[in-house]
A and B are shown apart, each in its own frame.
Chain A
Amino acid sequence: MKIEEICRLLNAKLLTGQELLDREVFSACASDLMSDILSYVKNQTVLLTGLTNAHVIKMAEILEVTAIVFVGGRMPANEVVDMARKMGVVVLVTEYTMYEACGRLYSAGLPGCTREL
């Protein structure tokens, strides 16, 4: 699924990454726990989270997350957005809550990151 479509499905505001909208992701991971994110995120993943601190961006860089969606309308601080811009991570903000944002992406066919069941 292209970032562009995620943006549309979540009626999201794009904070960084205008030029990266045609990038493709193959899975999504949603959590407010850093360690969950670290254990589940795969390659070319979109991360949905309610955490807006700078650690999320650093972790996104380490994991090479393609895009971060801040749910529930949580706006990150300007320096957090600047960091993401420098690292080439797309940042979106959606008014949908975590549950609804995940539901919308999942019903549109974007799978999760669960390890083999």
Chain B
Amino acid sequence: MGGNNRSIEQVFYIKAGDFASAGEASSQIKKTLKQLGVDSGVVRRATIAAYEAEMNLIIHSIGGELKLKVTPETIIITAEDKGPGIPDIDLAMQEGYSTAPEIARELGFGAGMGLPNIKRNADRLNIQSKVGEGTLVEIYFDIKAR
């Protein structure tokens, strides 16, 4: 068994409305990626996307999981929740469109840039959502050959 095929996985549980812990999972993801020696530009993009996804879980979901998976070729950040789901994904992807509540806006969040910002930072993005069932956001980053 060589070290080549190793992949690691970390799971963080994100509580709805838990602004006090906001950013902790993303900070940990950043730390892990740095320790793995991932290119700093990729770490930066992945951390920003993770942070946006983490905030989305806190602001919009009833709670969920933020997951980091690192394989030798790819970093996958997954945000998965059990609801309430996104009625119109195209609309949610538009810059400036936001359904964030006042409490999030008072803190400076909810400008309607979250998903667009995730897309801009990612190499690939997959969003699936069903109202009443939940949302799955998979964010992919290619690890450059060093």
Contacts and interface: CB of A to CB of B under 8 A. Distances in A.
B107 to A, nearest CB: 6
B66 interface: no
Interface residues of A, number: 19
Say what secondary structure dominates the interface of chain A: helix
Given A62-B48, A63-B48, A34 B23 contact: no
A12 interface: no
A64 B110 CA distance: 22
Contact of A58 (B27, B48, B112, B116): B27
B26 interface: yes
Contacts of B117: 35, 38-39
B85 interface: no
Contacts of A55: 19, 22-23, 107-109
A51 B23 contact: no
Interface of A: 32-36, 38-39, 43, 49, 51, 53, 55-56, 58-59, 61-64
A56 B19 CA distance: 12
Interface in B72-114: 107-114
B108 A38 contact: no
Interface in B1-60: 19, 22-23, 26-27, 30, 44, 47-48, 51-52, 55
